[in-house]
């Protein structure tokens, strides 16, 4: 069986699932339908809670019954989300849509990386996981850039709803491609299949006996949660700077383009620098960048955001690779899901603070709160990681 064919299929699937023209005007579309910043934060919390509750169970199901099935369920639910949003006019409509998206994210997050790693493992190329994951992210970014450029152009000429219809079409095509994936056989060192009820215990034991993995994964959680506020609220930030919507696509494309170098170079950087050095550097830059964005309320804040995105591109390949090289295939999707679970748990806590400070100080105050969180984590990581992360 040629499992390498899964690679190009995953590239194509990620490309289509990132070809979402709706994202470039998402916050404006929601605001147009009556959604305030506080309401948006509530939906983000709904998403995060859903993922926290379902992330690990869905990872266990993926390991037990198949990664392809969970990826398919995720794609179908994402399609349903866009269909609901097209007709959404009340808060509960958006809440239901985001709830479905949370289930979809839980279903596919750990399953996607697990299927990629095991496909490479069966081809004897597992040591190149960071490289292939970085390339997978690059396909996603390139697609998102095209979607942003086309989406902003269409939004300036037509009704915002058109972007959502086209996004729905892209998701439906991705569903068809998911059906072509080949489920890789699990190559486990454990020898025996783990009982369903023991997955959680085994996962907790894995993290408890590997403190270095805990710190690396925690770095990914905090960084991922912080970045989510950039991707969710950059449109409102540009709006407050009075930048016309016609330029949103260019700005979005620039932001996404800046994440490409990190994804492409992550596998090379870990051969030249210590994990601790890379993680501390990213944490320090995020702290400084978010602080600047919150205090300096002019167009130079875009430079700070650009730097944040440029350096943070290395995090996902580094964190995922660090974990996957140290875990057994029989637990791959489950353990990978713990990172997403933790990230969304952090997102819930920071989301409450972000929403509170945004209510009183607009989006600038929200970014100031994120700077505080990143700064506190930098101090913790500086001392906790000493002699633990090689």
CATH number at residue 139: 1.20.1250.20
User: Count of domains in the chain?
Assistant: 1
Kindly state the percentage of the chain with pLDDT values over 70: 91
356 has pLDDT over 60: yes
At 36, list the tokens. 């305030």
194 has pLDDT over 70: no
Angle of the 248-257 helix axis to the 129-157 helix axis, nearest 10: 180
126 has pLDDT over 60: yes
Residue 137 domain flag: yes
Q: Identify the pLDDT of residue 373.
A: 92
Residue 186 domain flag: no
Q: Identify the pLDDT of residue 31.
A: 81
283 has pLDDT over 50: yes
Distances (CA, A) of 192 to 67, 186, 195: 19, 11, 9
Residue 190 domain flag: no
Residue 208 domain flag: yes
193 has pLDDT over 60: no
Q: What is the C-alpha to C-alpha distance for residues 146 and 261, in angstroms, rounded to an integer?
A: 17
For the residues 19-33, what does the mean pLDDT come to? 83
Residue 390 domain flag: no
Q: What is the C-alpha to C-alpha distance for residues 231 and 226, in angstroms, rounded to an integer?
A: 9
Range(s) of the domain holding residue 175: 5-181+196-384
Q: What is the C-alpha to C-alpha distance for residues 27 and 60, in angstroms, rounded to an integer?
A: 34
Q: Give pTM, 2 decimals.
A: 0.68
Residue 188 domain flag: no
Residue 237 domain flag: yes
Residue 116 domain flag: yes
Q: Identify the pLDDT of residue 288.
A: 94
* 139 contacts 14 by C-beta, under 8 angstroms: yes
289 has pLDDT over 90: yes
310 has pLDDT over 70: yes
Q: Identify the pLDDT of residue 191.
A: 47
Cβ contacts of 383 within 8 Å, gap of 6 or more: none
Q: Identify the pLDDT of residue 2.
A: 62
């Amino acid at each position: 069986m040629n499992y390498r064919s899964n690679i190009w299929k995953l590239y194509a699937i990620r490309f289509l699932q990132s070809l979402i023209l709706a994202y470039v005007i998402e916050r404006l579309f929601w605001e147009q339908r009556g959604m305030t910043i506080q309401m948006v934060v509530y939906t983000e919390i709904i998403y995060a809670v859903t993922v926290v509750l379902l992330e690990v169970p869905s990872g266990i199901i993926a390991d037990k019954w198949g990664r392809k099935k969970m990826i398919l369920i995720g794609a179908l639910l994402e399609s349903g989300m866009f269909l609901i949003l097209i007709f959404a006019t009340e808060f509960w409509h958006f809440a239901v849509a985001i709830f479905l998206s949370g289930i979809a994210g839980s279903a596919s997050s750990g399953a996607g990386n697990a299927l990629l790693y095991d496909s490479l493992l069966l081809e004897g190329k597992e040591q190149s996981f960071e490289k292939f994951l970085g390339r997978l992210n690059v396909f996603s970014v390139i697609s998102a850039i095209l979607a942003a450029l086309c989406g902003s152009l269409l939004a300036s000429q037509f009704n915002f709803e058109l972007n959502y219809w086209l996004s729905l079409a892209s998701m439906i095509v991705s569903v068809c491609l998911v059906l072509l994936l080949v489920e890789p056989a699990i190559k486990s060192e454990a020898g025996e299949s783990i009982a369903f009820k023991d997955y959680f215990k085994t996962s907790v034991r894995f993290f408890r006996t590997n403190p270095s993995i805990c710190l690396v994964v925690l770095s990914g959680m905090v960084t991922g949660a912080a970045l989510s506020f950039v991707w969710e609220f950059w449109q409102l930030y540009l709006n407050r700077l009075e930048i016309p919507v016609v330029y949103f696509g260019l700005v979005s494309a620039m932001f996404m383009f800046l994440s490409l170098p990190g994804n492409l170079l992550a596998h090379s950087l870990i051969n030249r620098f210590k994990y601790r050095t890379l993680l501390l550097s990213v944490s320090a830059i995020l702290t400084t960048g978010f602080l600047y964005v919150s205090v300096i309320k002019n167009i130079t804040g875009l430079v700070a955001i650009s730097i944040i995105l440029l350096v943070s591109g290395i995090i996902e390949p580094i964190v995922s690779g660090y974990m996957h090289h140290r875990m057994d295939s029989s637990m791959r999707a489950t353990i990978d899901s713990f990172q997403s679970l933790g990230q969304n748990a952090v997102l819930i806590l920071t989301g409450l603070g972000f929403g509170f400070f945004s209510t009183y100080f607009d989006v600038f105050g929200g970014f100031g709160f994120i700077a505080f969180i990143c700064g506190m984590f930098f101090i913790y990581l500086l001392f906790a990681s000493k002699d633990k992360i090689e």
